[in-house]
Structure formats: structure tokens, C-alpha cells
Amino acid sequence: MTFEDIETRIPVLGDTKIASPVKGQQTGETPAFFVTDNDRILVDATPTGLEILCAENRPFPSFELAGPRKKIYFDPSKLRCALVTCGGLCPGLNDIIRSVVLELHYGYGVRRIYGIKYGLQGFIPSYGHDVIDLDPAAVVNIQDMGGSILGSSRGPQSIEEIVDTLDRMNIGILFMVGGDGTLMAANKIANAIKDHNLRISVVGIPKTIDNDIHMVSRSFGFDTAVDIATQAIKGAHNEAESYPNGIGLIKLMGRHSGFIAATATLAQQDVNFVLIPEIPVELEGPDGLLTKVETRLAERGHAVIVVAEGALQELFANEDKGTDASGNVRLHDVGLFLRDRIKDYFRAQATEINLKYIDPSYMIRSVPANANDSVFCGFLGRDAVHAGMAGKTQLLVAHWNNHFVHVPMALSAGKRKQVNPSGKLWTTVLGATGQGSLCNRTT
């Protein structure tokens, strides 16, 4: 699919006839705060992309700019909203919750806001999970806490039961915070709502610590993850330098995409080898990882290796490890595998090494957001509210080309963003580490 082929229109529940209660900043007599659906952000803003589109005389594909509209669809005095967090934990979840609640309450005067406990399970009556009333008092200071005050869960639930619950609760806007699986579920929920002729807006807020959601340039929690990952790299480097033939090995998140591993490496340039899912790696042979680590130890006396959790999985292709609750194929623990393989390699050569293995994954997932992510979450949450109040549905609020925009769920759900092996991020990593190719040359 090319940029010019994509569909960027956002469905709406109906005409917007109610004046927005949001108080915008004024410049003289001209409102400078509200945006319209005609305010657009180009999908492909690169010079090459513009030249191609101009040459072919095609319309510029563009996203709606996120932000408050002058006219809204829902009457705030009668509106009920629900908010749910799904999937794995991620820094910033509580910041999102707080931002949504405060904008609904203070910006629009909505007083009925419900927090759904434990992800999609909270919609299913048989689980018996409570619903939380959310107001400013309930979310005060939660940005200083890790995790999610609503809890979370993994795995699919009955779409029909979810829609029935939304209907019984008279929900007008459902805010769903989650990753790819959640966005696919949100898309199905929105379709089922349409099939039942219900007027319920479904707004997605993309959440993935791996930063791998399609058509989303940055996801919340990623900045914090890189922050904490650099601390792990510092520790591994200090350990490696302090012992003869010291090796620091760090496993970071990145099931299918190596953005955290690559970015943390550039943030803390003490790393000598980076292994990510997108780039093939061989362990044996003259250009393989083990030989290059051996050369590095001989020349410098220490080495630091970062491996993303999804790297080297091709080595275990014949192993059936089953799937997790979300339907994802269970990964082989590449960190422990690599630790043992390195030890075996040098033991066979009667070379003493001092290897320290660090896996900070769950610590990273559960910490509070850093300052940058907290600000970012504030924008996402507020813009999600603006979209829902305007009656827009089946969209996610995303960051794209330095703006917050509305992206159709169908355009993003089920697709994945990955590190480009020829792009600037990875080529800069290669320059910073000097690792070169970790695959043996063929003649």
C-alpha cells in the first residue's frame, strides 16, 4: 500500500449542533483555539513524496488535525463516558486516564465518567469486576504512580457482550487505551455498534512501549522506556569495564520491532553490538556475533551487547511454544539463550569471561512516565476527548508529522511499524557501535 492509496476519512455519528463549552484562547476577535475538519496534516510530508504526488496530479492524502471543534455532537449534561486500559502495562497509562477525566470534567462539564476495571473483562458480567466512578478527586496525583489505576487484562472477549454492556450503561463515548490487539478489538466493537444502530463513539489511544503501531510516529511510554533502558546500559557498561573480559548483556523490549534497543543505544553510546528482530544475525562463523565479541574482548577487554526480545527467534522456528492470552506466539527467551551461548563459546576455548546479564523489562513497563511522556499523554488524552465529543468514531489519536491527528482504526489496526534496515536510525546505530554486519559473507 502506498501513501496515496490510503483512506483517511473519519466516521461521524451525526451532525454537530451543540456549541462547544470549551473556552479557547482568543486573539483579538478571531478564535485561535478551535480547529476544523479542513485543517489537515499531510500523510507523506517528505520532499520525495510531495514531488511524486504533484507529478501524478493526485490529491494530497492527509489526516484531520486533532483538537476541539466549535460545534460538538454530544450534550455534556446527558453524556456518559467509559474508559478502559488493555494489554500490557506501559508508562503513562495513569497520565492518559487523568488527562481524559480532567478534560471531560473541566473542559466539557461531563459528570458521568466510568472506569472499566481489568481491561475488556470489565465489560463481561460473568467476571464481576466493579466499575469505578472517575472524577478529578479520583485521579489526583495518579500521574506519579506506575501501572494503571483501572488495571488491565489480556485476551479476547465477546464483542456482542461488550456492546450489550455499553448499551445497558447508556455509554456515549468509549475510550480504549491499548496496543494493536486492543485497536483491532476496538474496530470490531465500533463495527458491531454500527450494526446495532447505536450512537456510541469509539476512540482509541494507541499504547505500545515498543513504538511499533502503524501510522503512529511515536507512542506514549516509549520515551520513558528509552530513559530507563539507558540506565541499564550504563550499569552493564560499568560492570563490563570493572572485570577482565567483562561482558554486559541487556535484554530490552521489542517483540517485532527494535526501536527501544536502537534508540537506547544511541542515547547511551557504550554499546558494541545491537540485535533487533528486523536485522538478520548469525552467531557462528568469521563474521558472526561470537567471533566479533571475541575480537572486541581481545582489543578492548570488555563488550556491551543489547538484544531486543524478538531477535534471533528464527533459531527456534521448529519449537512450538504455544501462544499467550492475546494470541501472540510465545517467544523463546533470547536473553537467557544468548547468555548461555556466550558462556559456552568461551568455555570451549578455555577463556575466562565475566558476564553480567540484565533484564529490566518489567521494571520499565511499570514505572511512572517521565516528564516528556507525561506531557505527551496530556495532549493525547485531551485530543481523544475533543474527537469523541465531536461525535467522531472508529479513530485513534496519533502523533504524525509533528502534529496530533485522527487516524482511522482500520488503517492502523493489524499492521506494524518496524525499523528500516536502510533508514537513518539503523545506519546511525551501525556507525555508533561499529558492529557492521553480523552475517557471514557468501561468495
Residue 366's CB is within 10 A of a number of other CB atoms, namely 16
pLDDT category at 5 given cuts 50, 70, 90 is: low
Same domain, 25 and 128: yes
Pairing of strands 395-400, 403-408: antiparallel
Q: Is the pLDDT of residue 326 over 80?
A: no
340 confidence band (pLDDT: 50, 70, 90): very high
Q: Please tell me whether residues 183 and 298 are part of one structural domain.
A: no
Answer whether residue 264 shows pLDDT above 60: yes
The candidate with the shortest Cα–Cα distance to 74, out of 413, 392, 411, is: 392
Tell whether 303 and 194 lie within a shared domain. Answer: no
Residue 199 to residue 50: CA distance in whole angstroms:
38
Asked if 230 and 336 count as a contact pair (C-beta separation under 8 A), the reply is no
pLDDT above 50: residue 51: no
pLDDT at 71 over 70: yes
Structural domains of the chain, count: 2
Residue 405 placed within a domain = yes
Q: How confident is the model at residue 382 (pLDDT cuts 50, 70, 90)?
A: very high
List the catalytic residues. 210
Residue range 212-222: average pLDDT?
93
CA 416 to chain centre: 11
Residue 441 lies in a domain: no
d(CA 262, CA 248): 16
Instruction: Please check whether residue 192 lies inside any domain of the structure.
Output: yes
User: E strands of 86-232, at which residues?
Assistant: 112-116, 131-133, 173-178, 201-206
Question: Would 417 be classed as within a structural domain?
Answer: no
pLDDT above 50 for 32: no
CATH number of the domain at 16, please: 3.40.50.450
One domain, residues 383 and 320:
no
| 225/126 Cα distance (integer angstroms) | 35
Q: Are residues 198 and 234 in the same domain?
A: no
Domain annotation covers residue 94: yes
For residue 52, what pLDDT is reported?
A: 45
Does 442 fall in a domain? no
Does 239 share its domain with 382?
Answer: no
Does the pLDDT of residue 299 top 50, yes or no? yes
- CATH number of the CATH domain containing 308: 3.40.50.460
Residue 80 grid cell: 456518559
Q: Do residues 324 and 200 both lie within one domain?
A: no
* Residue 341: HSE in the Cβ half-sphere, 13 Å Cα cutoff: 17
Q: How far apart are CA 21 and CA 71, in angstroms?
A: 9
Are 345 and 380 in a shared domain?
Answer: no
| Same domain membership, residue 201 and residue 64 | yes
Q: Do both 64 and 167 map to the same domain? A: yes
Euclidean distance between CA atoms 159 and 188, whole angstroms: 7
Is there a domain that residue 127 lies in?
A: yes
62-65 and 403-408 beta bridge pairing: antiparallel
Q: According to the model, what pLDDT value does residue 27 have?
A: 46
Q: Are 71 and 129 in the same domain?
A: yes
Shared domain check, 138 and 263: no
Identify the residue whose cell numbers are 512516565. Answer: 369
Residue 387 has pLDDT above 70, yes or no: yes
Q: What is the mean pLDDT of the chain?
A: 91
Q: Which grid coordinates belong to 272? A: 558494541
For residue 34, give its domain range. Answer: 3-219+369-412
If pLDDT is split at 50, 70 and 90, which confidence band does 249 have?
A: very high
Q: Taking 60 as the threshold, does the pLDDT of residue 50 lie above it? A: no
323: left (phi over 0), alpha (psi -120 to 50) or beta: beta
Rounded CA separation 190/74 (Å) = 17
> What mean pLDDT do residues 179-206 have?
96
| pLDDT tens track for 136-149 | 999 999 999 999 99
Residue 187, pLDDT > 50, answer yes
Q: Is residue 440 part of a domain?
A: no
Report the candidate in 269, 264, 232, 268 with the shortest Cα–Cα distance to residue 358: 232
